Structure 1
Amino acid sequence: MKDGEITDFGTYEELCSRKNSTFDELLKELRIKQQEEEENVEDATLVEEMNDVLLELIGSPTNRELQVHRRARTTSDEMLIGRQISVSSTHSNSSHPIICRSTSHLANAKLVEDEELAAGKVNSKMYLEYIKACGVGLCVAFFFTMFLVHAVLEGTSKIWLSKWTTEMASNFTQTNPVIDLGIYAGFGFSSFIFLSLARTMVAVGSHRASKKLHDGLLFSLLRSPMTFFDTTPVGRILNRLSNDIEKIDDDVPGKMGFTTGTSIGGLLGQIARNVKDLEQSIVSVERVQEYVDNEHEAEWDSLASPRLTWPEKGEVKFSDFSLKYRQNTPLVLKHLNLTVFPGQKVGIVGRTGAGKTSLTMALFRIVEPATGTIFIDDVDFRNEATAAVDVETDQLIQQSIRTEFSNCTILTIAHRLNTILDYDKVLVMDSGEIREFDSPKKLLENKQSLFYGLAVQAKLI
């Protein structure tokens, strides 16, 4: 069936004999899927035997040192166990040793990194970072207003009130209550003005600090490399942008403003509680600053922009190009030296894990190179080609490439070998290295070549 219509009808042998039919296309897709499964799982029977052995070992008191964390019995889990365990003998009395590969490397191979938890007092640097975000000048003006002007006015008003009451008690007829009351009211009103000014400074400074820290966090996240998002859960990032920013918006300004702007006398207990709350809230600044200081990818805007007519020819050159996804992982592309001349069409093939996708990510600059670079028309830059989709869409893409881009340099990451047989050259990748690079005709003439073996597996020969 296709699009609600019957396209083929017959026995299995009859349908197999019809070339280029819908059934033939389905068989080709099935062969490709079977080849991928065979590459991932070499011996499913051996994996089942290993699972049975593991169950025996877990329950055996003589093998306490072997610790196996067994998850749901899915295909991926069986693959994981199959890669980690090597069995030399599975005799029931355990008289022959069972050799297990070391699993200590799993700790280093863990993808998601644990979140760092700090203990003890908050680093005083975080207070300085918040003050810088508020604005040093504004903070100095705030402290000057609160601790000098406001304190002087408040203290002077109390001294004047004491003097006024003493004079009234000793000589009531000689005092002028209107003048004395006006002076006392002037001190109180001035104190209120400066207190309001200080509160305004807190509001302006906290808004400035919150905006600066949020913008810095967002800027850093947008420029973090892809490896950061591979190793950091999305929830952890959202928590920085929501919960921590909310505390910086609401909690930190109130605690800091109240603590520094309150008179000492009679409020020591309240000040102590606010200092403690401030210390807990300022942790959010530390958590945000952790992501602000992330390692960033290369600059988005280059000072040396290419020519307006670039690229004129389309020559692509890999110069000692190596690639790794993280600093503590091995190279996935190893010292590639390759030149694709203008107008050539090069198909890139290889088994799963050979480095085809990594080469695409390098051209996209999703991952920065470990060594070397890529030159396009003698300009240090990296770009990308295409990928593979379903059979019908793939045919449309190949037809468009042949008609609309006949004079362009094309790099094709090929998942179907028949789409690149008419290309100028074929690049065969294996374990991140270039194994073969020649025309399809010459590679197929050599029956010992890797490309010939791939063509045989794809039933093209």
Structure 2
Amino acid sequence: DFSDNIDLYRQHISLEPEAPYVVEDCRPAPSWPQAGRVEFRDFTLPYREDLPPALDGINLTINPGEKIGIVGRTGAGKSTLVKSLFRLVHGTTSGTIMIDGQDIGAMGVGDLRPRLGIIPQESTMFPGSFKRNLDPLQEHSIEDMWAALIKSGIAPKLFSLCRVLMRMRRVIVLDEATADVDLETDRHMQQLIRSEFSDRTVLTIAHRLETIMSSDRIIVMDDGRIAEIGSPQELIDAGGHFAGLVKANDFGA
């Protein structure tokens, strides 16, 4: 009714505006990013004035080609950390995020988001053909599409993986991508990631510890901060948060 429409209108006008799609005087080179080096420099994201920051003073350097696993309890800041790479978070941030020397906060989201790869927990299928779903901008050949489909197993759950296999971005995020798949499919995905993304920078938010035990480094998030960082074995030996998770899950390193 009329009151519902008024409420909906109020919700729409109260939405924070999207960041600029293109910033003409801060456009990256067509080949950016080439290496995949990611740097958080004292990056802070407020949540609300009456609450602690969602991310609090993050300082982190991820080297090109490094595989990073991210763990932490619900609300610890895992998803916010990777969403910040895509500028999908709202609020006035401080500090910077750099990818291959470019401040991503200064560029338009139209120059940022298409240059990164993401495999989310849920694969979204839009109306239309497989070809339209895989390659909406018509940038790839039929042969490329079939190769990606065959590698991924042509399963609906792996459709997002197939998209990333085709585009092969330098920085790739897996946001609990294997949470809703069985163990066999999870292992298939991990094998593909190790073989196909061996020279790519990959950040994985883990649903299963097994998914990240082969990572170069593990980040343990807690209350918007990096509580621990190191190789899986280093963190197990340290006997801290991550070691507790491993013990609780009865998972041997």
- With the length of structure 1 as denominator, give the TM-score of the two structures: 0.36
Q: Which of residues 178, 194, 201 is equivalent to 1:402?
A: 194
How many residues get paired? 179
Structure 1 contact 426–439 (Cα < 8 Å) conserved = yes
What residue is the counterpart of 1:322 in the other structure?
44
What residue is the counterpart of 2:153 in the other structure?
none
CA-to-partner distance for each residue in 1:355-413, whole Å, 9 max, x for gaps?
11221322231114521121110112265511222234432321221111111111111
Separation in structure 1 between the aligned mates of residue 188 and residue 7 of structure 2, nearest angstrom: 42
Separation in structure 1 between the aligned mates of residue 54 and residue 212 of structure 2, nearest angstrom: 24
Q: CA deviation at 1:291?
A: 5.8
Separation in structure 2 between the aligned mates of residue 235 and residue 329 of structure 1, nearest angstrom: 30
Structure 1 contact 317–376 (Cα < 8 Å) conserved = yes
Q: CA deviation at 1:345?
A: 0.4
What residue is the counterpart of 2:174 in the other structure?
386
Q: Which of residues 82, 99, 105 is equivalent to 1:376?
A: 99
What residue is the counterpart of 2:29 in the other structure?
307
CA-to-partner distance for each residue in 1:141-167, whole Å, 9 max, x for gaps?
xxxxxxxxxxxxxxxxxxxxxxxxxxx
Q: Which residues in structure 2 correspond to 1:113-132 (within 5 Å)?
A: none
What residue is the counterpart of 1:453 in the other structure?
244
Residue type of the partner of 1:400?
L
Structure 1 contact 428–434 (Cα < 8 Å) conserved = yes
Separation in structure 1 between the aligned mates of residue 15 and residue 199 of structure 2, nearest angstrom: 43
What residue is the counterpart of 2:86 in the other structure?
364
Structure 2 contact 174–202 (Cα < 8 Å) conserved = no
Separation in structure 1 between the aligned mates of residue 251 and residue 215 of structure 2, nearest angstrom: 16
Separation in structure 1 between the aligned mates of residue 237 and residue 51 of structure 2, nearest angstrom: 37
Q: Which of residues 285, 298, 301 is equivalent to 2:19?
A: 298
What residue is the counterpart of 1:435 in the other structure?
227
Alpha-carbon spacing, 1:397–1:292, altered in 2? closer, same or farther (3 Å):
same
What residue is the counterpart of 1:331 in the other structure?
53
Residue type of the partner of 1:403?
S
Separation in structure 2 between the aligned mates of residue 438 and residue 450 of structure 1, nearest angstrom: 12
- Structure with the higher helix share, 1 or 2: 1
Q: CA deviation at 1:431?
A: 1.1
CA-to-partner distance for each residue in 1:335-359, whole Å, 9 max, x for gaps?
1000001111010111222111221
SS of residue matched to 1:299 = coil
Identity of aligned residues (%): 43
Structure 2, unaligned stretches of length 5 or more?
105-111, 119-172
- With the length of structure 2 as denominator, give the TM-score of the two structures: 0.63
Structure 2 contact 209–246 (Cα < 8 Å) conserved = yes
SS of residue matched to 2:174 = coil
Over 6 Å off, 4+ runs: none
Structure 1 contact 325–367 (Cα < 8 Å) conserved = no
Question: Could you say which structure has the larger radius of gyration?
Answer: 1
Could you say which structure has the greater relative contact order, defined with CA pairs below 8 angstroms and 6 or more residues apart? Answer: 2
Separation in structure 1 between the aligned mates of residue 205 and residue 13 of structure 2, nearest angstrom: 36
Separation in structure 1 between the aligned mates of residue 12 and residue 232 of structure 2, nearest angstrom: 49
Separation in structure 2 between the aligned mates of residue 434 and residue 405 of structure 1, nearest angstrom: 25
Separation in structure 1 between the aligned mates of residue 12 and residue 210 of structure 2, nearest angstrom: 47
CA-to-partner distance for each residue in 1:228-280, whole Å, 9 max, x for gaps?
xxxxx99722xx4xxxxxxxxxxxxxxxxxxxxxxxxxxxxxxxxxxxxxxxx
SS of residue matched to 1:386 = strand
RMSD: 2.6
Structure 2 contact 219–226 (Cα < 8 Å) conserved = yes
- Structure with the higher strand share, 1 or 2: 2
Structure 1 contact 334–433 (Cα < 8 Å) conserved = yes
